[in-house]
Amino acid sequence: MKKNEDTKVTKMIIESQIKASVVSAVKKLYATDIAEESVQIQLTRKDMKGDYTIVVFPLLKISKKNPVETGKELGECIQEDCADVSEFEVVKGFLNLQLSTSYWTNLLNENVHNEQYGITEADDKSPLVMIEYSSPNTNKPLHLGHIRNNLLGYSLSRIVSANGNQVVKTNIVNDRGIHICKSMLAWKKWGEGQTPESTGKKGDHLVGDFYVKFDQEYKKEQAALIEAGQTKDEAEANSALMKEAREMLVKWEAHDTEVYGLWEQMNQWVYQGFDVTYKKMGVDFDKIYYESDTYKVGRDMVLEGLDKKAFYRRDDNSVWADLEKDGLDEKLLLRTDGTSVYMTQDIGTAKLRYDDYNIDKMVYVVGNEQNYHFKVLAIVLDRLGLNWGKDLVHFSYGMVELPEGKMKSREGTVVDADDLMQDMINTARDMSKELGKLEGYSEEEAEKVYEMIALGALKYFMLKVDPRKNMTFDPKESIDFNGNTGPFIQYTYARIQSIYRKAKANGIAISDKTDLNTELSEKEIQLMRMVSNFPAVVAEAGKVYSPALIANFVYDLAKEFNQFYHESPIAVEEDETKRSMRLLLCKSVGTVIKNGMWMMGVDVPERM
RNA sequence: GGUCCAGUAGCUCAGUUGGAUAGAGCAAUAGCCUUCUAAGCUAUGGGUCGUGGGUUCGAAUCCCGCCUGGAUCACCA
């Protein structure tokens, strides 16, 4: 952590040094004071020579000279002023400054041995951020949409923690309601006592099958009723199945022994199934809440709010929040019969969390179809006096769509999470065996790598896209392992490890530091620039909550590294000074890849 | 209808607070393995940045109108 801060400081120092230098140059040349913040400094484009670029256009009014001339004058001043600036070049209205090679080698020496480079660790006093994600219903297995949610939530928790926060990962399980009763009723009627053990099925899949069964039977019943002359509305109202399901819900709320027992048993099956899926996905939680525990707390909270006049009761006995002052509608919080709605349980969950933890920031990872819900929740929690309420973050992500549109369970187009992961592992295994990369590994070791690659591909695929946008997933086209993919990045990491193994095998000593005067190629400097920029990317990703920034950055770095790898000998370089520098540069790139991938919840292999 | 979000290469996506010639990957074509891993590298082709205005030294980016797609506005969750 110490070293990491040093690096950040070094980097910031050069930026602000340059800015300050621009300010004093302007004063010296044109006798005008400008604010340091107004200096437009940016990283120089990749295809241009230089490290930092000053945009001179805004200064033309002051210099009263043309862009090139102004740039030249400024460049000369800055070069004189800043020891680290070795050269400059003016292209159109852009002043490109180049830093000395010793600046870069020095920076490399500073961070190369820091395994935690880019990660700021939290302590007891760091802000506590609670991140809710996953939030499944217990009536069916997880699908592609849940995968995006889980991967985003998990990655986010790592990114937030890498920014020096304490993080509590949490999950709210929607384990009650009419949808659960449908599965239960179908199992009771047609299940013939089936269990995960008797069928060999994962519990969540078994329960999901009965949810589907209910729907099928319900449709049959509806068709029969309509056949018998009823209208659609009448048929729906007269559904015996739906009636039975509703009765079951009432019994459940009354803690009827039989219904409650069945509910507990079927939920157990589902949880056991979920555990397997979560484990395979590589996600976990620090604290799990259950809606069956929270919905009553929510009801009490609403009633309390009623006493405090935060809400009001209508003549029909229902309870509402009037949000017109906040530019929204009125929102129902308790039904006429006093039962809870979706919002109510979220209030209860919030209250329990508030009691359990000293939360500074609450982040909800929930799809963008609930944007309105969270707008309302923020206001309602605030009215109830929860201090983080109005500042809650709804991390609103887009849908995963199929090429033909949304996934529909009725049309059987839902992509199952377990199936998808297994398919990818199989593909990774086939491909790896074909390439013969893991010879010498035991079956067990190799299998670990197959999983790592498969999950790496899946995770990177989901995380590289801007989370706010909808994304398309084509189940017919399997996720790539080449190009802009997780395996490409993992491969780059494995390559670096391979170089080190080779160096070791050949008895090449790796020095601790790079000679400050080592000559550097453009590619090498570019890699150092990117490495030095990593902490800034992590900070930005934490600020705007975007794993995609990390993903794209790590990909660019890996791509750059592979180009370097192809054009330069590393462990086999004859010149000892260069060889050391390159080996250290490799190490440094490897660390950034590893830590960046860690922030996406992706592991990296030693070989692949 | 109100509100919100999105529209960039054939496809999937990048594009920092407005900056230089709008970038990757996939797909196509042509090359590179007796040299540190070819899950790699190089080269070629591919664009009225949905559309019309505006703001200015400069707009994919900011503002307004329109078109298209999606979400939401439940005593559903």
Distance, Å, A428 CA → B30 C1': 29
DSSP SS3 for A279: helix
How big is the CA angle at A229 (ends A223 and A230), to the nearest 5 degrees? 75
**3-class secondary structure for A520-560?**
CCHHHHHHHHHHHHHHHHHHHHHHHCCHHHHHHHHHHHHHH
Q: Is the CB of A448 under 7 A from strand B?
A: no
Q: Is the CB of A543 under 7 A from strand B?
A: no
Concatenated DSSP letters of A115-182: TTTT-BPP-TTSPEEEEE----BTTS--BHHHHHHHHHHHHHHHHHHHBT-EEEEEEEEB--SHHHHH
Q: Which residue is nearest to nucleotide B18 (CA to C1')?
A: A40
pLDDT of residue A329: 87
- ipTM score of the complex? 0.96
Per DSSP bridges, beta strands A471-472 and A400-401 are parallel
Distance between CA atoms of residues A113 and A268, nearest Å: 47
pLDDT of residue A11: 65
Q: Is the CB of A144 under 7 A from strand B?
A: no
Q: Hunting for tokens 């939680």 — which residue is that? A: A285
Please check whether residue A236 is in contact with residue A222, taking contact to mean a CB–CB distance below 8 angstroms.
yes
Phi, psi of A519 (to 5 degrees): -70, 140
DSSP SS3 for A256: coil
Task: Write b or e for each residue in A556-579: b if 16 or more Cβ atoms lie within 10 A of its Cβ, otherwise e.
Answer: ebbebbeebbeeeebbebeeeebb
Low-confidence ranges of chain A (pLDDT < 50): 1-6
Distance between CA atoms of residues A112 and A283, nearest Å: 30
Distance, Å, A347 CA → B71 C1': 23
Please check whether residue A365 is in contact with residue A467, taking contact to mean a CB–CB distance below 8 angstroms.
no
Nucleotide closest in space to A343 (CA vs C1'): B77
**Within window 245-274 on A, which residues have Cβ closer than 7 Å to strand B?**
none
DSSP SS3 for A64: coil
Please check whether residue A377 is in contact with residue A346, taking contact to mean a CB–CB distance below 8 angstroms.
yes
Q: Is the CB of A478 under 7 A from strand B?
A: no
Concatenated DSSP letters of A355-417: HHS--SEEEEEEEGGGHHHHHHHHHHHHHTT-TTSTT-EEEEEPPEEBTTBS--TTTT---BH
Please check whether residue A202 is in contact with residue A274, taking contact to mean a CB–CB distance below 8 angstroms.
no
Distance, Å, A556 CA → B22 C1': 17
Per DSSP bridges, beta strands A393-397 and A400-401 are unpaired
Q: Is the CB of A137 under 7 A from strand B?
A: yes
Phi-psi region of A401 (alpha: psi -120 to 50; beta: other; left: phi over 0): beta
The two three-digit tokens of residue A425, written as one number: 């592992």
Nucleotide closest in space to A56 (CA vs C1'): B19
Q: Is the CB of A361 under 7 A from strand B?
A: no
Q: Is the CB of A226 under 7 A from strand B?
A: no
Phi, psi of A500 (to 5 degrees): -65, -40
Distance between CA atoms of residues A117 and A137, nearest Å: 39
Q: Is the CB of A38 under 7 A from strand B?
A: no
**Within window 100-129 on A, which residues have Cβ closer than 7 Å to strand B?**
none
Nucleotide closest in space to A92 (CA vs C1'): B20
Q: Is the CB of A90 under 7 A from strand B?
A: no
Q: Residue A472 is inside which H or E element, if any?
A: strand A471-472
Please check whether residue A597 is in contact with residue A155, taking contact to mean a CB–CB distance below 8 angstroms.
no
Please check whether residue A417 is in contact with residue A277, taking contact to mean a CB–CB distance below 8 angstroms.
yes
Please check whether residue A322 is in contact with residue A330, taking contact to mean a CB–CB distance below 8 angstroms.
yes
The two three-digit tokens of residue A71, written as one number: 């740039």
Sign of the CA dihedral with A28 first, then A31, A36, and A41 last: negative
Of A166, A168, A165, A174, the closest CA to residue A146 belongs to A174
Please report, in angstroms and rounded to a whole number, the separation of the first and last CA atoms in chain A.
Answer: 31
Nucleotide closest in space to A438 (CA vs C1'): B37
Distance, Å, A43 CA → B59 C1': 20
Q: Is the CB of A408 under 7 A from strand B?
A: no
**For residue A470, how many C-alpha atoms fall within 13 Å in the half-sphere facing its CB?**
11
Q: Is the CB of A466 under 7 A from strand B?
A: yes
pLDDT of residue A411: 77
Distance, Å, A70 CA → B51 C1': 39
Q: Is the CB of A299 under 7 A from strand B?
A: no
Distance, Å, A339 CA → B74 C1': 15
Q: Is the CB of A308 under 7 A from strand B?
A: no
Distance, Å, A19 CA → B37 C1': 44
Nucleotide closest in space to A454 (CA vs C1'): B39
pLDDT of residue A10: 63
Q: Which amino acid is at A443?
A: E
Chain B: positions less than 7 Å from a protein CB are 4-7, 11-17, 19-21, 24-27, 35-42, 57-58, 70-77
The two three-digit tokens of residue A541, written as one number: 């990703």
The pTM is what?
Answer: 0.95
In A31-138, which ranges are continuous DSSP H helix? 60-63, 67-81, 101-111
Q: Which amino acid is at A154?
A: Y
The two three-digit tokens of residue A351, written as one number: 């209250």
Distance, Å, A465 CA → B41 C1': 26
Distance between CA atoms of residues A51 and A85, nearest Å: 9
**Within window 508-527 on A, which residues have Cβ closer than 7 Å to strand B?**
none
pLDDT of residue A511: 86
pLDDT of residue A1: 37
Q: Which residue is nearest to nucleotide B14 (CA to C1')?
A: A552
Distance, Å, A519 CA → B43 C1': 29
A123-175 pLDDT tens trace: 999 999 999 999 999 999 999 999 999 999 999 999 999 999 999 999 999 99
Q: Which residue is nearest to nucleotide B12 (CA to C1')?
A: A472
Distance between CA atoms of residues A91 and A98, nearest Å: 13
The two three-digit tokens of residue A200, written as one number: 């060999």
